[in-house]
Every structure is written in C-alpha cells, then in structure tokens.
C-alpha cells in the first residue's frame, strides 16, 4: 500500500451507507494521548520527536498482535518526506490535521487501508487516534477505537493522572482526551434558514459546530460537524451519549425541513437541484466553493428522489476528489488556480456523465 | 391554412439562413399606406373600418392576379374574432403590432404561408405591408414588397400627394411610408461593453435602435433592431442604402468582439455558453427573460463552434416558441405565469435534448 494508490480510491467513511447516511455523512471519535517517557510536543527536541515516531512504529505498528486489535494493513507515512501537495491530499481526506501538515519536526501518520483508522504522531499531542465510520455509528466507532487504545496502552506508557485522567498538551483535552463528532449534511435547514436556531441550542449544551475541515473552517457544501467541547469530568460513554442524543433531533429537524420544502415549494426545490446538476455537468471552469454548493444541492436531490441516475457514494467521492490537492494528484501535475478550475470542471463532467459526450467540445 | 396550423411551425424568416445569418436574424421592410376613399383611422366610423377590410379583401386578396404579384396562399385573420392569447401569439411572431392586437374596431391581418409577408389592415394606417426575410437581405425584401405594393396600388387608390408622397396618419411616416429594419444579434458587443458606443454613432445618423418587439420594447436576448427614422425627402433606395451601408460595419464590430473574446477569454466564453446550455436543459422552471438571455449565449456558442449538437434554426424557433402565448397555444390551455415557467422549462428540455431522458424526473 502506497500513498499514490489512494488517489483513485475513497475512504470507507465516504461509502454513504450506515444508519441515517442521507444526513449523517460520518461519525468520528478521536483520542488524544501522550507518552509518559517524553515531554509534551512543544518541549520536545528534534531527537525526542524522532524517538516518539520510532517507539510507536516498533512497539505498536510492527507488533504482530496488532492484527487482533483490528490494526490490519497499516501504512506509516513520514509527513516530513511528503511534498506539499501530498500533505494537503491527506488533509482533504481528513486523515491528518492542517496543523500536522504544516509541522516541521519529525511527524507521521499511520492509516489503515480502508482509511477508517488514523494515528497522527507528533501533532499537538504525541498521539492522536481517530476512527471514522460511515453514517451515524458512534457506538461502532467507540468499540473500535477502545480496542485500539487498549492495545496501544499495553505497548506504550501513557501520561495519565489518577485524578485528571489522560494528560494532554492543551487543557481543553485533559481527562478523556476524546472528541466525538458527527458530520451532518443540512442543506434544507440552510434553505429554510433554521440553522442558526439549531446551533444556538447546541451551544447552550456545550456542543461545538464546525465546517467540513475542522477548527476554524467554513461550512462548505452545507456540511456541519457537531462535537463535544468538554472532555473532563465525564466518562467517555457520557460524552458519546450527549452527542448521540442530540444528533437524532437535528436529523429530525433536517427531515422536517426537507418535507416542508417538498410540500411547499417542490417545483422550486426540483429546479434548484436540477440546475445544480446541470451546471456541474455543463461548466467548463468551476471553483471549489461553487462545486461544494452545487454538489450539496445534488446530494439532497438524490436523497429526495429528485435525481435518479446518480449514486450517493459518487457524490460523496466528488466532494473530496474535487479538492485542490486531489485534482493535482489525479492529474499528476502541479496546477495553478485557473487550471485547477478547468480540470475540476472536466473531472466533474467525466464522473457525472461518464457516457455522455457532453454538449460542447473539450 | 388556419391560425392553429401555425403553432408548431416557424416563420420562414427564422430559418437562420441568408447572408450573415449568424448576426443578422432578419431583414424587414414595411410600408404605411392609406386609401384615398376613407378618412384616416382615428376619424373612421366602425362602418368605415369594416368597409376598408372588405375592400382590401375583395379587390386585392380575392383577385386571381395576386399570385403573379407573389401573394400566394394568403390567410386573412379577423383580429376582432381572436382571443387574447391568439392576438398575443401573432405579436410574438412579429406578424402584427402590439397596437393592432389591442385594437377594438374592425381590424385584420393577411399573411402568407411562409409568414414572409404580412398586411395589417386598420392599424395606425389603413394598410401596413411588411416583408421579412431571413438574414441580411434588404434588397430581396425590397424587390418583393415593391411588387406587392405595385399590385395593391393597381387595385386600390392610395392617398398620395405629389409633393409629399404617401400620406400617413402620423407625420413621421409621410413620404415613403417606409421603415427599413434589420434585427441584429449582438451578444459579444454586449459582453465587451461596446454597444453604447455603436448606438451613439447610429443615433447621430438618425437611425433608431429598438428591442426584439419594436417600439418601446426592451432589448432581450441581445437582439437589436436598427431602422431608419426619416421617411420624407429621400427615395426608398436611399433609405435602404443608409441601413445597408451601416449594417456591415456593425457586423464587423460584433465579429471583432467575438474574435477578441475567443482569443482573450476563450475558457470563460466557453464556460458561459456551456453553462447557459446546461441550464436551459436542466431548469425545471424558467422565466421568459432568463430563457432569452441563455438562448442568446447558446446561439453565439453555436456560431462560434463551441456547441456542436444544436442547429441555429432550432434556437431561433425557441426564442419565439418560449414566449407566453406560444407556450399556451402549444400546450393548448391558459396558463398563469408560474405554470408557464414550468411549461417553458419542459418545452426547452424536450426541444434541446429530444432523445435525452434528462437528469431528473418529469
């Protein structure tokens, strides 16, 4: 398994199945862990950083027993050796954070073949484990990551305090070190202008709302990531329960908004969806932002039965494959913004209407 | 030949052939004539108006010799007996003026099968003859209308003054009673913002610029009608020459603007054209104004070789067939604005992609 093999594939979490997959794109749990034998990252020497990567590789990734913990076919990627476009590629696939992609000391990420598991080494903490499942499946993700975490804990010595729990570089992660998040596709709540109301309610119960690419990112394509902000003073199960309890309510709001749109303005909705699809198939040059917005309308259209000749996994894939680094990897060369917009339009035409000759040349 | 037979057809002037047909949609000459035996229209009694229609019908349209003058297969339509939608239908086809469509006394229009010839009876003047040819063909139109005018003059007594020429209800038409006009499609001059400059030059030489539907109409679909304003003190040949001399210059400007766009921003132009085509094929509801604008881009795209699977006559037809009255005639029922917009979108899909099942239901 090599990085370049991933180009044409998709993470398993994009397969568009799993419970409530029409609205819940993915469920993700990440755990922040640190090794007791090393200072926190900001105080690490270059030698320390290298030693951490080595320790994890030798004690965890090369251990034969890892397969029993569900760590099959693992690829360890040395982030330092990656070109800029490859780092960005991993960010777009949600396998590493923007922070790790910009790191200068020794840093790595271990991922499995289906991309459901990721282990960042030397990000803000020594270890950041994540498990990402398609659809609304926090229970499955939790079972999986627990098993992996137990395996790692048996091989490494975690920095742990009996009173506080897991120790982390930033106090906001102390305790469980856990972030539970679900990525929701909420186009109807956007169209009916009800999103603000929902978000205010979420903030009151200390849940955070972010865009597709985590902290500080804009919500594009009408994707919203809901996650816990509190990590301390509650058990992992309680934190998962809090998110698990609120997500069905948001799903219900989104479904009601879709029903309302279908009932009150079916023609306008159908028109919006159909025009979005037409533009994606017809554009000769298109920005990433416009692509996300149009794909969002099309995704809703497929889920509402307004478009029949498209599958959700194709659309999910396009959200990621039309990102700048993916386009360049697929095309196999460096492209400036204008050329990317042209390449993106071509890629969309080829993937949305693979058998159609299109209406115009190129 | 009946009015309803015209619904699915097109005027011959829309066939998109003739000289410079990529830019010159049609060439039109109209002559205003009055009968010496009757007062001008505004002073006519209802009985006078009826007598005028009768006189023309009997002495001209029923005369066997009319065929030699090129007046074959003539349909005389009593405008008073038409429903509102049928009057509007004739306006959209450029066969009667808005003024005649709103008239209350006896009024009629005689048209030939190819719709190249029209004779309005009891509009502002007793008679308004028009000949409309496809492309840039004022010479052909003039030869044709001269012959018909000679034939009419032989059968009727025109109000004519030796010093002034033909007498008309409005002084702006006295003399030749002639309006020479060409309908130009100038999308590239619009896009490159050069139109104002051209129009100012035309005004200086007393040429008028109007939209697709004559006096006071907005230029939609980037169609502009250039015509003479002066009718007195010059011969018919001189008036035709003035328009004939200026049109090639405008054509040249438009061509240069198209070349500039192709050279300087081919991708943007292709994108605009391709998106317009996609929207026309994908919309589920669309206004008349948006349709005209998008069709205009598509028409230019076909002429510039950016779209390959469409013929100009199809586009020309759609400009007219997507107008409100045409839609209602084609559908065979009265439709409000919202329903027309839905019907228009359906009609466009069916005519632009007749074999495609489309991307979405309906």
Distance CA A108, CA B247 (A): 70
Q: How confident is the model at residue A360 (pLDDT cuts 50, 70, 90)?
A: very low
What's the mean pLDDT when you consider all of chain B?
92
- What percent of chain B is predicted at pLDDT more than 70? 95
Tokens of B122: 């009891």
Nearby residues of A253 by Cβ (< 8 Å), 6 or more positions away: A189, A194, A198
Tell me, what's the pLDDT at A357?
Answer: 42
Q: How confident is the model at residue B215 (pLDDT cuts 50, 70, 90)?
A: low
Distance CA B120, CA A38 (A): 97
Q: How confident is the model at residue A7 (pLDDT cuts 50, 70, 90)?
A: confident
Residue A217 has pLDDT above 80, yes or no: no
**B320: closest CA of chain A, how far (Å):** 23
**Phi, psi torsion values for A82, nearest 5 degrees:** -80, 145
pLDDT, average across residues B143-154: 96
The DSSP code for B11 is -
User: Do A306 and B279 count as a contact with CB atoms less than 8 A apart?
Assistant: no
Q: How confident is the model at residue B329 (pLDDT cuts 50, 70, 90)?
A: very high
Tokens of B171: 């002084």
Cβ A1 vs Cβ A115: under 8 Å: no
Contacts of A284 in chain B (CB under 8 A): 267, 270-271, 274-275
**A196: closest CA of chain B, how far (Å):** 29
Q: pLDDT tens digit string along A63-103? A: 988 888 888 889 999 999 999 999 999 999 999 999 999 98
Q: pLDDT tens digit string along B17-69? A: 889 999 999 999 999 999 999 999 999 999 999 999 999 999 999 998 888 88
**Terminal CA-CA length for chain A:** 34
Tell me the pTM.
0.89
Count other C-beta atoms under 10 Å from residue B82's C-beta: 18
Distance CA B297, CA B292 (A): 9
**Phi, psi torsion values for B241, nearest 5 degrees:** -60, -40
Residue B292 has pLDDT above 60, yes or no: yes
- Between A5 and B182, residue with greater pLDDT: B182
Name the burial class of residue A222, with classes exposed (0-12), middle (13-18) and buried (19+) by CB atoms within 10 angstroms of its CB.
buried
Residue A261 has pLDDT above 90, yes or no: yes
Contacts of B338 in chain A (CB under 8 A): 267
What's the mean pLDDT when you consider all of chain A?
92
Cβ B157 vs Cβ B37: under 8 Å: yes
Tell me, what's the pLDDT at B7?
Answer: 82
Residue B229 has pLDDT above 80, yes or no: yes
Q: Which of B278, B339, B348, B353 to mutate to test the interface with A (most CBs of A within 10 A)?
A: B278
Nearby residues of B360 by Cβ (< 8 Å), 6 or more positions away: A270, A273, A274, A277, A301, A306, A307, A308, B282, B284
Tell me, what's the pLDDT at B213?
Answer: 64
**Phi, psi torsion values for B340, nearest 5 degrees:** -60, -40
pLDDT, average across residues A50-63: 95
Q: How confident is the model at residue B357 (pLDDT cuts 50, 70, 90)?
A: very low
CB pairs under 8 A between A and B: 94
Distance CA B227, CA B206 (A): 9
Facing residue for A282 by CB, picked from B268, B275, B286: B275
Instruction: Tell me the CA distances in angstroms from A45 to A96, A98, A122, one per residue in order.
Output: 22, 22, 12
Residue length of chain A: 362
Total H helices, total E strands in chain A: 12, 10
Cβ B325 vs Cβ B91: under 8 Å: yes
Facing residue for A277 by CB, picked from B267, B345, B359: B359
Domains of chain B: 3-182 (3.30.590.10), 266-352 (no CATH)
Contacts of A277 in chain B (CB under 8 A): 282, 359-360
Tell me, what's the pLDDT at A362?
Answer: 36
Contacts of B297 in chain A (CB under 8 A): none
Residues of A within an 8 Å Cβ radius of B: 267-268, 270-271, 273-275, 277-279, 281-286, 301, 305-310, 338, 342, 345, 357, 359-362
Cβ A49 vs Cβ A209: under 8 Å: no
């Amino acid at each position: 398994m090599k990085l370049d093999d991933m180009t044409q594939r998709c993470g398993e979490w994009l397969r568009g199945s799993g419970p409530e997959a029409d609205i819940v794109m993915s469920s993700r749990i990440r755990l922040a862990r640190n090794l007791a034998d090393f200072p926190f990252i900001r105080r690490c020497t270059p030698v320390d950083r290298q030693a951490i990567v080595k320790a994890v590789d030798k004690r965890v990734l090369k251990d034969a027993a890892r397969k029993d913990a569900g760590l099959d076919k693992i690829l360890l990627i040395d982030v330092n050796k990656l070109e800029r476009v490859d780092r960005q590629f991993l960010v777009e696939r949600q396998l590493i954070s923007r922070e790790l992609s910009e790191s200068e000391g020794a840093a790595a990420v271990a991922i499995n073949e289906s991309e459901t598991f990721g282990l960042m080494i030397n990000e803000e903490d020594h270890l950041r484990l994540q498990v990402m499942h398609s659809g609304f499946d926090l229970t499955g993700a939790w079972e999986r990551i627990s098993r992996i975490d137990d395996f790692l804990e048996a091989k490494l010595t975690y920095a742990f305090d009996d009173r506080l729990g897991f120790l982390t570089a930033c106090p906001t992660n102390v305790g469980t070190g856990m972030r539970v998040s679900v990525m929701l596709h909420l186009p109807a709540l956007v169209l009916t202008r009800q999103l603000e109301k929902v978000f205010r309610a979420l903030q009151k119960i200390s849940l955070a709302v972010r865009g597709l690419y985590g902290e500080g990112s804009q919500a594009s394509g009408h994707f919203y990531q809901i996650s816990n902000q509190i990590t301390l003073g509650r058990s992992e199960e309680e934190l998962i329960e809090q998110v698990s309890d609120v997500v069905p309510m948001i799903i219900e709001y989104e479904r009601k908004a879709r029903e309302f749109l279908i009932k009150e303005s079916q023609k306008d909705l159908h028109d919006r969806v159909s025009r979005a699809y037409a533009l994606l198939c017809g554009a000769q040059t298109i920005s990433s932002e416009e692509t996300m917005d149009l794909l969002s309308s099309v995704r809703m259209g497929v889920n509402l039965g307004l478009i029949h000749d498209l599958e959700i996994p194709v659309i999910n894939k396009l959200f990621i494959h039309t990102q700048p680094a993916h386009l360049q990897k697929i095309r196999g060369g460096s492209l400036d913004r204008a050329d990317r917009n042209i390449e993106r339009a071509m890629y969309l035409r080829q993937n949305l209407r693979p058998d159609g000759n299109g209406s115009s040349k190129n």
